[in-house]
Amino acid sequence: MADKKSIKQTFIFQSVFTELERLDECLNSIEGYKELSEDKQYEIMLVLSEAVTNAIEHGNELNSSKKVKLDIILSSEGIVAEIYDEGSGFDPTMLVNPLEKEAILRDHGRGWFLMKHYCSSIEWDDEQKCLRVYF
CATH at residue 46: 3.30.565.10
Contact yes or no for 20/52 (Cβ under 8 A): yes
Q: What is the pLDDT of residue 1?
A: 47
Q: What is the pLDDT of residue 93?
A: 73
48 belongs to a structural domain: yes
Contact yes or no for 29/11 (Cβ under 8 A): no
Helix (H) or strand (E) holding 53: helix 38-54
49 belongs to a structural domain: yes
Alpha helices in the chain (DSSP H): 23-28, 38-54, 111-118
Confidence category of residue 124, pLDDT binned at 50, 70, 90? very high
Q: What is the pLDDT of residue 112?
A: 77
Mean pLDDT of the chain: 88
128 belongs to a structural domain: yes
Is pLDDT larger for residue 76 or for residue 18? 18
Q: What is the pLDDT of residue 111?
A: 77
How do residues 59-108 score in pLDDT, each as one tens digit?
999 999 999 999 999 998 999 999 999 998 777 777 666 556 665 556 66
**How many folded domains does the chain comprise?**
1
2 belongs to a structural domain: no
20 belongs to a structural domain: yes
Q: What is the pLDDT of residue 19?
A: 97
Residue 52: give the domain boundaries.
Answer: 7-134
Q: Report the distance separating Cα 98 and Cα 135, nearest Å.
A: 23
90 belongs to a structural domain: yes
The DSSP symbol for 126 reads T
- Which whole number is the average pLDDT over 24-48? 95
Q: What is the pLDDT of residue 95?
A: 64
Q: What is the pLDDT of residue 114?
A: 84
